[in-house]
Amino acid sequence: MFDHFDSVLTSRLALADLKGIKVKGIYDSPVDTEGKFLANVFKNPGSEIAGDGNEETVSLDSFGKGGLLHHKTMILDDQVLISGSYNFSISARDNNREILFKTKDSYLIDSYSKEWERIRQNAIPYRPIPFQVEEVSNHVFFGHSENSISVEQTICRTDNSKEESFYLESGKSFFTSILEYDFSTTEFCKEVSDFSSSSSGFSGRKTNHPVQTRSFRENGILRSKKGNLMFISPERIENSSPDFKNKPVYLFMPVFYSIQSGNLLFPQSLKKFKNPNSIFIYQGGNGPIVIPGNSISVIPNSTEGILFFEYDSLFLAFCFHEYSKKGIEYTELIQEIISFRESVFPFNEHLSAEEVPINQVRNLGTYCYRY
């Protein structure tokens, strides 16, 4: 690969190595900081980080020599290929216009594997720093009990003598996230909403997370950047959370929706869907929470959000916001909803009602009903 500056990706590769998976990487020389970190923490003797052995040099009196390793490719178990212009960096994920494809095509995987082997023949392994002292795990804990919400939760450590990062695996289905918390020296606690921009959701960038929801840390797992387990959250909240894991979510655009009265008119193509089993609402970092009595006319502060209508085999959902807003965080979440559905429910049915919000996001930049 050419660049690798995504610290969340680093933590996942370190964890894979810790679980006994062979992780091998070849970087454009010199190996960058994240690659060096991996080389120094790998435990599996089969894992290795290398530079491409092709140093780029530029001279004023001649053409440049060498060249850049411009590849951006991952091959998983010789069965999955991920490649494109994507640089495995935060800028590539959040800001740049990139191309990334994923395929199981055997011909392409074989071709890319041969290219990997060609580069590996000339690569120079990066030698880790010898005789490193194993770090003693810092004690990390939540500053408040789960039941204290809506008090702002904090995540704290007992030793503040060094810079340190922790990674909280939180949430379920398309709400799954890896939240990165970067502690500076002298810093004991951080609010849980103060996660870094490198934090990642199901399909990439994560700018919001339901940290104000009582169950946000249910089954949460905190790890160090090396992949070492810091704690598993003991909370097991019994509630009526939506079953997104076993039922796909489909979008639609209502013909009419009033935030004052709760009056809602479904499109004609969804007329077969009558009274839902349950209704849930997600609003900017809070939820999804069940709406008592399935009455959307009693939702407090409901100027924007996503409504999920649960039926026996699926969910119908739409987002809404004021006409002057762009609904960026809901657009981001809906992209994760669609990506999750395509990954977990590959043979899901097609609903024509979904074409309206999908066409709208192409033209107006939002999937949402605007009022």
Outline which parts of the chain fall under CATH 3.30.870.10: 7-125
Q: For residues 316 and 252, is the Cβ–Cβ distance under 8 A?
A: yes
Q: Is 250 exposed, middle or buried (0-12, 13-18, 19+ CB in 10 A)?
A: buried
Quick one: which of 326, 307, 328 has its CA closest to 317?
A: 307
Before 30, cis peptide (omega within 30)? yes
- pLDDT of res. 3: 75
Q: For residues 68 and 2, is the Cβ–Cβ distance under 8 A?
A: yes
Q: What is the per-residue pLDDT across 184-203, written as a single tens digit (0 to 9) for each?
A: 999 999 988 888 888 887 66
CA distance linking residue 179 with residue 170, whole number of Å: 8
CA distance linking residue 263 with residue 353, whole number of Å: 19
Residues 6 or more apart whose CB falls under 8 angstroms from that of 261 comprise: 297
The model carries a pTM of: 0.77
Rg over alpha carbons for the chain, rounded to the nearest Å, is 24
Q: For residues 201 and 336, is the Cβ–Cβ distance under 8 A?
A: yes
- pLDDT of res. 337: 92
- pLDDT of res. 238: 52
How many residues are there in the chain? 371
Bridge partner list, 224: 166
Q: What is the per-residue pLDDT across 38-62, written as a single tens digit (0 to 9) for each?
A: 999 999 999 999 988 776 666 666 6
- Give every residue of the chain whose pLDDT is below 50, as ranges: none
What are the structure tokens assigned to 268, written together?
């004609």
CA distance linking residue 183 with residue 158, whole number of Å: 12
Which contacts (CB < 8 Å, 24+ apart) does range 40-48 have?
40/128, 40/129, 40/132, 41/14, 41/17, 41/225, 41/226, 41/227, 42/14, 42/17, 42/128, 43/17, 43/18, 44/17, 44/18, 44/20, 46/22, 47/17, 47/22, 47/23, 48/24, 48/125
CA distance linking residue 227 with residue 20, whole number of Å: 12
Which H or E run contains 289?
strand 286-290
Q: For residues 66 and 57, is the Cβ–Cβ distance under 8 A?
A: yes
- pLDDT of res. 133: 52
Quick one: which of 242, 232, 239, 217 has its CA closest to 148?
A: 217
CA distance linking residue 264 with residue 94, whole number of Å: 35
- Name the architecture of domain 7-125: 2-Layer Sandwich (3.30)
